[in-house]
């Protein structure tokens, strides 16, 4: 070949690879051609043009998505129009005469539900995707595409579905300088400095992805809020984002700084009972609605970790929340008031404080306030019991807060599928209204008859090309949306569909990878915090193990506060012999954990201080069990590596290698966690790591000496 030709071929190859590189940007919305010829033929024979009945921005994005999806998946050139032909996919609300006229029934579907069914319209066999509103139609369109992506036949049609929770919201802890608190996927998506002029394609794809899993709200700024977000300069930008999200059924919310009346309103106080302050908020909120007429409302972190709040003025959480709620009510806005509070001055077990502060106010919040409660009473640990407020505030709608970003779950480097964690909490029985009053039934309102319901997920999304940093972290975004829609679905079903759409439908890939995902959370618990240990991570940045930390500004930030290791044993007694945190739960729940001998072992050191020689159910002593679990965790990561290596021929090179390399980092981090924790706890147990285990390659002093200066996701942001 001539030199020129070689160069051309090389260039062409480069272009080809670049154009088809699978970098994860498309998430689970890949729409590649269905490789199964039979399936493809079957679909093609039953799917014709897309007919959109009615006009609205939401209907038009639904139509466009179908066209995009069908041309990719089936390779049929599509355009949207209003003409109905044989095998048309007909989308529109029930109000469209052609759809309503088929006698199809949507009454039970509510505002967001959808129905997909085959019907004849004017003698033509059609597939109808409908609902009571455009949003329902949009959700149905995505659902239908997902069925094709998973190569499902049409046996499940007709299908109807509506969400169990009303507000399905992402919380971005994104700062205005684009750093992300506890974000491990690069910078914030929001390019504030370029808004409103420049609309990044990412905003649109973000909205599509959310709509595809039913997420209908987003709080775009950090709960550690900057008051500037509420100034006109930024509201103009906020409006631009809200305009992008609207057609996708997503409402925009903001985090509000409680001291904003002082900081940007030049008032002397932010006292919620001060008439001037109340008036300021009323006007501010009216102003927000003048930019964003469907603004969702405000999220507030008050009197928590240094954030200002009503208590600065000797007022209560209810005073603070109600002031904002009153100003939002005329616009149908809501307040999401966080219950994540704890105080160093109160000498009470930190896990009891949120309940102590909020329970007395049950019944005192206005009806457009939701109290947003983290899944557990501490702080998004690898495993926590459910938060005792669930079931304890029957007169207040409680909103669940999960953390999708993996602050305590291996951050950006570890493969941890979070659906099992979320399900464990949602399925936990509070017994508050008798047996079967699960946390899920508390938040969906069925247990205590609330009509305003919601759930929040702290986002794991950033500007990394693949959105979430770790290719498998996308699954947590996906699973969150799917569980928010229907908490009855299983972790396994959700993993199954995510794998099929994100990677491959090949059963020899789906099966093993699904198993790896399903066990990944327990694996992390094993090598990080087995048997109920918690909060033993690095100071500040929370990266890696640091069970020895005892010098942080407040007692309850220090790992030693939580594990209470001493010469006798390990663990935090929270039963009636200890802090009695258990008293905050229903008697049936207390009974499960109160006695050391029946306490489920995964919560043992959460609720009990246990002797080193205590006999575990395995027959091992506590010390030997700890060693066993930590070593088991590392072995399980190694098994994940082996499993993944076997998928090489089934995954594109880019994502295969990305996951392979991250699993290798995870293995090193797991070994680090294991060695550091066991060497440290051995100084109390005075027992060796059994000799049949490979011994740590470094000393405890070495692990203690490790310092990490610029770990991602760590404060220093200026908000």
Binding site for ligand GCW (CB under 6 A): 173, 181-182, 223-224, 301, 305, 340, 379-380, 407
Active site includes 379? Answer: yes
Identify whether 271 is a catalytic site residue.
no
DSSP state of 89: E
Cβ at position 181, least distance to ligand GCW in Å: 5
Own/partner long-range contacts of 306-310 (Cβ < 8 Å, ≥24 apart): 307/223, 307/224, 307/225, 307/257, 307/258, 308/257, 308/258, 308/259, 308/270, 309/258, 310/258, 310/271, 310/272
Phi–psi pair at 254, nearest 5 degrees: -125, 150
Min dist CB 407 to ligand GCW, Å, is 6
Q: How far apart are the first and last CA of the chain?
A: 58
Least separation in angstroms between CB 297 and ligand GCW? 18
- Smallest separation (angstroms) from ligand GCW to the CB of 301: 5
Which residue, among 436, 407, 420, has the nearest Cα to 480 in the 3D structure?
420
Q: Which is nearer to ligand GCW, 51 or 223 (CB)?
A: 223
Considering only CA atoms, which of 106, 49, 44 is closest in space to residue 78?
A: 49
User: Which residue among the candidates 271, 407, 444, 636 is catalytic per the annotation?
Assistant: 407
Q: How far apart are CA 578 and CA 576, in angstroms?
A: 5
Nearer to ligand GCW, 319 or 407 (CB): 407
- DSSP letter at 430 equals -
The one catalytic residue among 65, 319, 379, 522: 379
Distance of alpha carbon 378 from alpha carbon 606, whole angstroms: 11
Is there a contact between 50 and 88 (Cβ–Cβ < 8 Å)?
Answer: yes
State the Cα–Cα distance between residues 176 and 217, nearest whole angstrom.
19
Grouping H, G, I as helix, E, B as strand and the rest as coil, residue 180 is strand
Burial environment of residue 500 by CB neighbours within 10 A (0 to 12, 13 to 18, 19 or more)? buried
d(C-alpha 440, C-alpha 447), whole Å: 9
Least distance between ligand GCW and beta carbon 406 (Å) = 11
Judged by CB, which is closer to ligand GCW: 482, or 535? 535
- Residue 175 CB, nearest distance to ligand GCW (Å)? 10
Rounded distance, CA 352 to CA 330, Å?
A: 36
CB of 182 to ligand GCW, least distance (A): 5
Min dist CB 263 to ligand GCW, Å, is: 18
What gap in Å lies between CA 473 and CA 657, rounded to an integer?
15
| Count of CB atoms situated within 10 Å of the CB of 715 | 13
CA atoms within 13 A on the CB side of 144: 32
The phi, psi pair for 452, rounded to 5°, reads: -95, 120
Residue whose beta carbon is closest to ligand GCW? 379
Regarding beta strands 124-130 and 610-611, do their DSSP bridges make them parallel or antiparallel, or are they unpaired?
unpaired
Buried b (16+ CB within 10 A) or exposed e, 71-86: ebbbeeebebeeebee
Verify whether residue 539 is a known catalytic residue: no
CB of 544 to ligand GCW, least distance (A): 15
In the chain, how many H helices and how many E strands? 22, 16
Which residue number, 64 or 539, has a Cβ lying nearer to ligand GCW?
539
Residue of 305, 550, 566, 653 with catalytic role: 305
Query: For residue 424, what are the contacts with CB-CB under 8 A and spacing of at least 6?
Result: 383
Nearer to ligand GCW, 557 or 680 (CB): 557
> What is the C-alpha radius of gyration for the chain, rounded to an integer number of angstroms?
27
Q: Which is nearer to ligand GCW, 161 or 403 (CB)?
A: 403
Contact 655, 22 (CB under 8 A): yes
* Separation between Cα atoms, residue 199 and residue 218, nearest integer Å: 17
We find the least distance from the C-beta atom of residue 204 to ligand GCW, in angstroms, to be: 27
Instruction: Pick between residue 276 and residue 305 the one whose CB is nearest to ligand GCW.
Output: 305
Q: CB of 113: closest distance to ligand GCW in angstroms?
A: 32
Name which of 161 and 372 has its Cβ closer to ligand GCW.
372
DSSP 3-state of 170: strand
- Residue closer to ligand GCW by CB (options 340, 365) is 340
Choose between 379 and 625: whose C-beta lies nearer to ligand GCW.
379
Q: Long-range pairs for 484-487 at CB < 8 Å and ≥24 separation?
A: 484/163, 484/165, 484/168, 484/214, 484/215, 484/455, 484/457, 485/161, 485/163, 485/164, 485/165, 485/168, 485/213, 485/214, 486/161, 486/163, 486/164, 487/164, 487/165, 487/423, 487/426, 487/440, 487/444
Nearer to ligand GCW, 547 or 569 (CB): 547
Active site residues: 305, 379, 407
């Amino acid at each position: 070949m001539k030199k020129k030709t070689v160069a051309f071929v090389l260039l062409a190859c480069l272009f080809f690879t670049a154009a088809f590189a699978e970098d994860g940007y498309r998430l689970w919305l890949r729409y590649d051609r269905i490789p199964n010829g039979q399936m493809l033929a079957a679909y093609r024979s039953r799917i014709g043009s897309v007919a959109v009945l009615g006009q609205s921005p939401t209907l038009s994005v639904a139509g466009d998505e179908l066209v995009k999806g069908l041309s990719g998946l089936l390779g049929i050139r599509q355009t949207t129009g209003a003409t109905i032909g044989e095998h048309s996919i007909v989308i529109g609300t029930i109000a469209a005469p052609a759809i309503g006229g088929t006698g199809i029934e949507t009454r039970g579907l509510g505002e967001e539900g959808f129905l997909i069914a085959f019907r004849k319209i004017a003698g033509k066999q059609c597939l109808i995707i409908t609902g009571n509103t455009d949003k329902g139609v949009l959700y149905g369109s995505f659902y239908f595409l997902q069925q094709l992506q998973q190569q499902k036949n049409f046996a499940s049609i007709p299908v109807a579905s509506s969400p169990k929770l009303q507000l399905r919201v992402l919380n971005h802890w994104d700062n205005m300088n684009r750093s992300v608190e506890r974000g491990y996927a690069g910078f914030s998506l929001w390019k504030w400095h370029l808004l409103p002029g420049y609309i990044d394609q990412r905003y649109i794809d973000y909205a599509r992805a959310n709509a595809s899993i039913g997420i209908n709200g987003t709080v775009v700024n950090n709960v550690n809020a900057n008051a500037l977000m509420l100034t006109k300069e930024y509201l103009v930008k906020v409006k631009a984002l809200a305009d992008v999200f609207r057609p996708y059924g997503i409402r925009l919310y903001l985090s509000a700084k409680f001291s904003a009346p002082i900081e940007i309103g030049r008032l002397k106080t932010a006292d919620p009972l001060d008439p001037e302050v109340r008036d300021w908020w009323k006007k501010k909120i009216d102003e927000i609605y003048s930019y964003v007429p469907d603004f969702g409302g405000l999220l507030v972190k008050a009197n928590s970790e240094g954030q200002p709040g009503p208590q600065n003025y000797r007022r209560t959480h209810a005073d603070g929340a109600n002031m904002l709620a009153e100003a939002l009510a005329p616009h149908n806005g809501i307040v999401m008031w966080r219950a994540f509070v704890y105080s160093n001055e109160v000498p009470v077990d930190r896990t009891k404080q949120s309940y102590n502060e909020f329970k007395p106010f049950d019944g005192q919040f206005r009806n457009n306030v939701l109290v947003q409660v983290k899944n557990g009473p501490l702080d998004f640990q690898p495993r926590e019991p459910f938060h005792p407020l669930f079931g304890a505030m029957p007169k207040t709608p409680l909103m669940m807060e999960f953390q999708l970003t993996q602050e305590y779950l291996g951050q950006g480097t570890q493969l941890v599928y979070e659906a099992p964690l979320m399900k464990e909490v949602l399925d936990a029985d509070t017994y508050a209204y008798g047996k079967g009053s699960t946390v899920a039934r508390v938040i969906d309102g069925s247990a205590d008859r609330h009509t305003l319901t919601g759930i929040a997920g702290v986002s794991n999304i950033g500007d990394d090309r693949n959105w979430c940093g770790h290719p498998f972290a996308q699954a947590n975004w996906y699973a969150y949306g799917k569980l928010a829609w229907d908490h009855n679905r299983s972790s396994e079903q959700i993993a199954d569909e995510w794998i099929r759409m994100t990677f491959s439908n090949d059963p020899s890939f789906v099966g093993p990878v699904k198993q790896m995902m399903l066990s990944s959370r327990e694996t992390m618990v094993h090598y990080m915090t087995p048997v109920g240990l918690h909060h033993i991570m690095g100071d500040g940045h929370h990266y890696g193990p640091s069970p020895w930390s005892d010098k942080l500004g407040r007692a309850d930030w220090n790992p030693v506060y939580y594990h209470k290791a001493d010469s006798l044993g390990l663990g935090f007694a929270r039963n009636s012999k200890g802090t009695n945190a258990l008293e905050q739960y229903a008697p049936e729940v207390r009974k499960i954990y109160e006695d050391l001998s029946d306490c489920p072992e995964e919560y043992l050191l959460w609720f009990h201080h246990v002797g080193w020689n205590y006999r575990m159910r395995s027959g091992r002593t506590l010390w030997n069990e700890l060693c066993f679990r930590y070593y088991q965790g590392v072995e399980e990561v190694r098994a994940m590596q082996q499993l993944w290596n076997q998928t090489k021929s089934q995954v594109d090179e880019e994502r295969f290698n990305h996951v392979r390399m991250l699993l290798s980092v995870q293995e090193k981090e797991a070994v680090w966690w294991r060695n550091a924790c066991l060497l440290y706890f051995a100084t109390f147990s005075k027992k060796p790591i059994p000799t049949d285990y490979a011994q740590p390659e470094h000393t405890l002093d070495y692990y203690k000496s490790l310092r990490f200066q610029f770990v991602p996701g760590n404060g220093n942001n200026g908000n």
